[in-house]
Amino acid sequence: MAARGLRRAGPLGISALALLVLVIVLALVAPLIWQQRADAINAAEILRGPSGAHPAGTDLLGRDIFARVLVATRLSVGLALLATVLGVTAGLLVGATTAVLGRRAGRWIGTLINITVAFPNLLLALFFAVIFGVGAKGAVLAIGFATAPGFARITQTLASGVAGRDFIAAARIAGVGRFRILTRHVLPNIAEPLVVTATIAMGGAMLAFASLSFLGLGVQAPSYDWGRLLGEGLQQIYIHPAGALIPGLAVVLAAMAFNLSGEVVARAIGLRSTSTGTLGDPPPPAPSDPMPEADALLAVHNLQVSFPGVRPVRGVSLSLRRGEAVGIVGESGSGKSLTALAIARLIEPPGEVTADRLEFLGEDLRGDVSAHRRLLGTSLAMVFQDPMTSLNPVQRVGRQLAEVVRTHQRADRRTAWARAVDRLSAVRIADAAKRAGQLPHEFSGGMRQRAMIGMGVMANPALVIADEPTTALDVTVQKQVLQLLQNIRSAENVGLLFISHDVTVVGQVCERVLVMYAGRIVEDLPASALREHARHPYTRALVAAVPDMETDRNLPLAVIPGRPPDPRDLPVGCAFAARCPLATDRCREEDPPLDSLETGRRVACWHAEQTVPHLSLIKGEQS
């Protein structure tokens, strides 16, 4: 791996790394070897030019400038290192704090960071140098504080990038606290780019330190660093320029060594250094279906999700009993995943969730989410689409599973680990004890998804919400994962809310299917009625678009013509009208309510009674 990294670094990278090693070695050994020679005053050799005995000449006291430059490596590198450590630590703390604090405080700190980042580093260093006073200590503090804002900004940006990943959502749904999420999940995942950035920042700190010493604000006599030697040499530059050139060259080369090495490391590990529209139609009146059943495990009525300028979920009502499997199906952007996230209370501001009723196990989930964290963490499990982003890549799988029971049941390490191994076996991961000690990248895609399901059932949930759990898997593995979900549901009487764009899969897994279009449920029907007795033209088109044994293979695959409407600009009337072969003037003027049919099914269509053969819906696309 190291050899591959070196190959990727190329000749320039290898030279930079060699130079860096040389600088570090010099910092360690130069004072031991050349200190005496560097400090030896010789009145007979004052201001001599370069010679065999003195390669860079001598200074005003006849001291060997080359030996002084070599000896100054330790102080120059050491002080710059101290300043970098200080700046990086302060920046890391401030940047990470924004992720831990509430949204408002985080925004204030973010604004402060942005203001300070707007000033050039050296200007900030000079400002702080005046505050902290002249001398090496003041310069270290000044450069440290000047480095901190940039590092805080990078930490903040990287942390917010990781914060959107599924494994963070999974940790939140498991009730893991903010500080623990930060230390266990966020920081380990941004450590690599931070280390690289710190290496590059070291080069900048070295230049800044040399500048302060050159200006007389840094290291004071009798101590000396490269900046100070540069200042002394500059006074004699017309007598012999080497006295200024050699310390200047040392600063540039050392700063380059750190900067380029940082870039080399970044490349080796695959990194690079670094509206308000109008809302759509007002929500339709709350669906006219009866309120969800009293004994429902999950009862949702008139759920709305809105973001500034858009309302992607508009009045969803559903209920789900223990052990029941309900599917939500629809194209991308239909609002199905947002519905699931809203139920799990995972929609973050500026998103807003409202509902007339949102109850899970009899508890009203509306209001402050922290009040429901324990219930959601123990009784609700989420399984996301991409198992790779759902698991923390730098934490062992067993530890991630164990965290659930450690957080909620205060289980000790050993008990939590045993439970994790047990759950991994329950989701049919062979040699679970060994696998628990491995990292997610050592698992196959199917194993990762099964591990995620294992994590979901760590705390005996009453409801599993699976959001496209098989989309990223191949067909064989898909079947295994679906079978596993079915087994867990029947064996442990767990409710399943299954989200998918694939109407066939939903039909196989679920007892009841909710079809969503443009943020609304447009049909609610038993899975057994899906293929032959769907009433809504959109449901029928979805079914017809899936080839079956009778599909003529000589014809192109059927597709639903057109695209779903933009949620920011929904049409008046039925949102499906532009794609619907049955659309009439009434459809284009009035949005049909979700009516309960006599059979207990629900459908939102003015012409639901009109029967149309599947293929005629999309005939134009087939011919």
Give strand pairing partners of 513: 327, 525
Q: Compute the distance between CA of residue 315 and CA of residue 198 in angstroms, rounded to an integer.
A: 49
If the CB atoms of residues 212 and 603 are measured against ligand SF4, the closer one turns out to be 603
Q: Tell me the window of 95-103, 236-244, 276-284, 602-610 that interacts with ligand SF4 (CB under 6 A).
A: 602-610
If the CB atoms of residues 314 and 372 are measured against ligand SF4, the closer one turns out to be 314
Q: Compute the distance between CA of residue 311 and CA of residue 317 in angstroms, rounded to an integer.
A: 16
If the CB atoms of residues 353 and 580 are measured against ligand SF4, the closer one turns out to be 580
Size of the site for ligand SF4 (CB under 6 A): 13
Q: Tell me the window of 205-213, 274-282, 455-463, 569-577 that interacts with ligand SF4 (CB under 6 A).
A: 569-577
Q: Tell me the window of 115-123, 196-204, 207-215, 601-609 that interacts with ligand SF4 (CB under 6 A).
A: 601-609
- C-alpha neighbours within 13 Å on the C-beta side of residue 19: 22
Encoded one letter per residue, x for contact with ligand SF4 by CB under 6 A and - for no contact, window 512-551 reads: ------------------------xx--------------
Q: Which residues of 374-406 are buried (b: 16+ CB within 10 A; e: fewer)?
A: ebbbbbbbbbbbbbbbbbbeebbbbbbbbbbbb
Q: Is 102 exposed, middle or buried (0-12, 13-18, 19+ CB in 10 A)?
A: exposed
Which H/E stretch holds residue 605?
Answer: none
Nearest-approach distance from CB 290 to ligand SF4, in angstroms: 22
If the CB atoms of residues 552 and 609 are measured against ligand SF4, the closer one turns out to be 609
What does the block give as tokens for 182?
């930060």
Rounded to the nearest 5°, which phi and psi values hold at 499? -105, 130
Q: With binding defined as CB under 6 A, does residue 570 bind ligand SF4?
A: no
Q: Tell me the window of 147-155, 294-302, 467-475, 605-613 that interacts with ligand SF4 (CB under 6 A).
A: 605-613
Rounded to the nearest 5°, which phi and psi values hold at 470? -115, 5
If the CB atoms of residues 57 and 537 are measured against ligand SF4, the closer one turns out to be 537
* Residues in region 287-316 near ligand SF4 by CB under 6 A: none
Contacts 24+ apart (CB under 8 A), 58-67: 59/232, 59/233, 59/236, 59/243, 60/232, 60/236, 63/38, 63/39, 64/37, 64/38, 64/40, 65/229, 65/233, 65/242, 65/243, 65/246, 65/247, 66/246, 67/34, 67/37, 67/38
Phi-psi region of 428 (alpha: psi -120 to 50; beta: other; left: phi over 0): left
Question: Please, what's the largest Cα pairwise distance for the chain?
Answer: 113
If the CB atoms of residues 424 and 521 are measured against ligand SF4, the closer one turns out to be 521
List CB contacts of 246: < 8 A, sequence separation 6 or more: 56, 65, 66, 69, 233
Nearest-approach distance from CB 589 to ligand SF4, in angstroms: 10
Nearest-approach distance from CB 327 to ligand SF4, in angstroms: 20
Q: Tell me the window of 328-336, 353-361, 466-474, 581-589 that interacts with ligand SF4 (CB under 6 A).
A: 581-589
Q: How many CB atoms lie under 10 A from the CB of residue 422? A: 15
Q: With binding defined as CB under 6 A, does residue 587 bind ligand SF4?
A: yes
Q: Which residue in 109, 126, 582, 597 binds ligand SF4 (CB under 6 A)? A: 582
**Rg of the Cα atoms in the chain:** 33
If the CB atoms of residues 65 and 580 are measured against ligand SF4, the closer one turns out to be 580
Nearest-approach distance from CB 621 to ligand SF4, in angstroms: 17
If the CB atoms of residues 227 and 333 are measured against ligand SF4, the closer one turns out to be 333
> How far does Cα 92 stand from its chain's mean position?
17
Q: Is 19 exposed, middle or buried (0-12, 13-18, 19+ CB in 10 A)?
A: middle
Q: With binding defined as CB under 6 A, does residue 583 bind ligand SF4?
A: yes
If the CB atoms of residues 90 and 578 are measured against ligand SF4, the closer one turns out to be 578
Question: Helices in 437-534 by DSSP H: which ranges?
Answer: 445-456, 475-492, 503-509, 530-533
Q: Which residue in 171, 181, 182, 605 binds ligand SF4 (CB under 6 A)? A: 605
Query: Which residue carries 């006219």 as its tokens?
Result: 288
If the CB atoms of residues 54 and 536 are measured against ligand SF4, the closer one turns out to be 536
Q: List Cα–Cα distances, 234 to 74, 120, 214, in angstroms.
A: 22, 25, 10
Nearest-approach distance from CB 424 to ligand SF4, in angstroms: 46
Q: With binding defined as CB under 6 A, does residue 606 bind ligand SF4?
A: yes
Q: With binding defined as CB under 6 A, does residue 231 bind ligand SF4?
A: no
Nearest-approach distance from CB 523 to ligand SF4, in angstroms: 10
Q: Compute the distance between CA of residue 44 and CA of residue 37 in angstroms, rounded to an integer.
A: 15
If the CB atoms of residues 209 and 576 are measured against ligand SF4, the closer one turns out to be 576
If the CB atoms of residues 368 and 585 are measured against ligand SF4, the closer one turns out to be 585
Q: Which residue in 138, 315, 454, 592 binds ligand SF4 (CB under 6 A)? A: 592
> How far does Cα 104 stand from its chain's mean position?
20
Q: Compute the distance between CA of residue 344 and CA of residue 305 in angstroms, rounded to an integer.
A: 13
What does the block give as tokens for 214?
């050159």
Nearest-approach distance from CB 288 to ligand SF4, in angstroms: 15
If the CB atoms of residues 377 and 565 are measured against ligand SF4, the closer one turns out to be 565
Q: Tell me the window of 6-14, 201-209, 411-419, 600-608 that interacts with ligand SF4 (CB under 6 A).
A: 600-608
Q: Where along the sequence are the contacts to ligand SF4 (CB under 6 A)? A: 536-537, 574, 576-577, 580, 582-583, 587, 592, 605-607
